[in-house]
Amino acid sequence: MRWVVINNINGWIILDKQPGVTSRKAVTKISRILNIKKIGHGGTLDPMATGVLPIAVGEATKCISFMQNKSKKYSFVIKWGQKTDTDDAEGKILENSNVRPTKDQIFKIMKFFTGRIYQKPPIYSAIKIDGDRSYKLARNNIFVKHEPRQVEIHQCILKKIINSDLAEFEVICGKGTYVRSLARDIAEKLNTKGHVISLRRHYVGDFGEKDTIFIDFFKEIIHSPSILKKMLPIEAVLDDIPALALNETEARKLKLGQKIQFNSLEFKNKFLIKHPNFQEFEKICATRNNNLIALVKIETDLVKPKRIINMKIEGKYDVDRKE
């Protein structure tokens, strides 16, 4: 057995997930390759879906919530005339319709799918019901009625009519949006039935297809310096959050979990000039020499550490392992 030790495994791997793989299984594969347990993803993709799946490694897991709040862009194809129990092609057909909408009819109803809208999540979803995932309950023939939830749709457009049965759409949306529910509701608004037959995520926040890597290629470069070029830093997801610079003494106290006085900070005035509205943010970044050391909350005159970033994590890889 030959081990290659990889130091400081902290950051983001932007996976291009392939169809037939669950998001959890994709994370497990990366975890095994790196032999590291501190890992998670920044937003579930359906098993049939492809595209951008941000995976947080090491201390980046402390920033997953920031990733989940980012806008996402998807393209998807609706097949008209069939409603399934999963709202995608993997489910059982429940209802049929002979209605096939025209381009003009689709254009007229798209205004109802922009802005803040309400949608019911699919029965087969990862939503927890009294501690159990909704899809697990459904597989055991326990069907829970989901209440409508408000989501934000920044843009939803018809890209093209493929044929009388198929149409391709594009959506940019916020946290918690189910594209399968969107497709189902679009079909219902057109007095027909429909379900998703293909779905691809193009970006999450600033992480796009240009940043992605396939699992097989990741396995090839894991024991070479090339891996560092494919991993993005923890801070990549925090670009739109104010950064509070600290001196060495202040940073040391914060790293120990101690609160520090805001009004006595050496660089307080520079921070206030650059970020006068910092109180609008739930958390901000605390840095030393441009290195992230903690996520903090400023309350009254105190800087309180909420997530301390410890960069001293190691991973190791068995180059002889057969995946």
Told to judge if 46 belongs to the known catalytic residues of this protein, a careful annotator would answer yes
User: What's the rounded Cα separation, in Å, for the pair 296 and 285?
Assistant: 6
Dig out the tokens for 10 from the structure: 């902290």
Catalytic residue among 46, 87, 88, 185: 46
Residues 6+ apart with CB under 8 A from 273: none
CATH class as words, domain 3-70+206-237: alpha beta
Burial of 118 (0-12, 13-18, 19+ CB in 10 A): exposed
Dig out the tokens for 141 from the structure: 């023939």
HSE-up (13 A, CA, CB side) for residue 155: 10
| Domain residue ranges of the chain, discontinuous segments joined by + | 3-70+206-237, 73-199, 243-308
How many Cβ atoms sit within 10 Å of the Cβ of residue 11? 20
Owner of token pair 């990366």: 30
Render pLDDT for 186-207 as a digit per residue (tens, 0 to 9): 999 999 999 999 999 999 999 9
Q: What's domain 73-199's architecture?
A: 2-Layer Sandwich (3.30)
Q: Is 210 helix (H, G, I), strand (E, B) or coil?
A: helix
Instruction: Supply the pTM of this predicted model.
Output: 0.86
Q: What is the phi-psi region of residue 72: left when phi exceeds 0, alpha when psi lies from -120 to 50, beta otherwise?
A: beta
Same CATH fold assignment for domains 3-70+206-237 and 243-308 = no
Give the pLDDT confidence score for residue 316 in this predicted structure.
Answer: 47
More confident residue, 300 or 192: 192
Render pLDDT for 59-111 as a digit per residue (tens, 0 to 9): 999 999 999 889 999 999 999 999 999 999 988 999 999 999 999 999 999 99
CATH class as words, domain 243-308: mainly beta
Q: Strand 207-208 vs strand 93-96: parallel, antiparallel, or unpaired?
A: unpaired
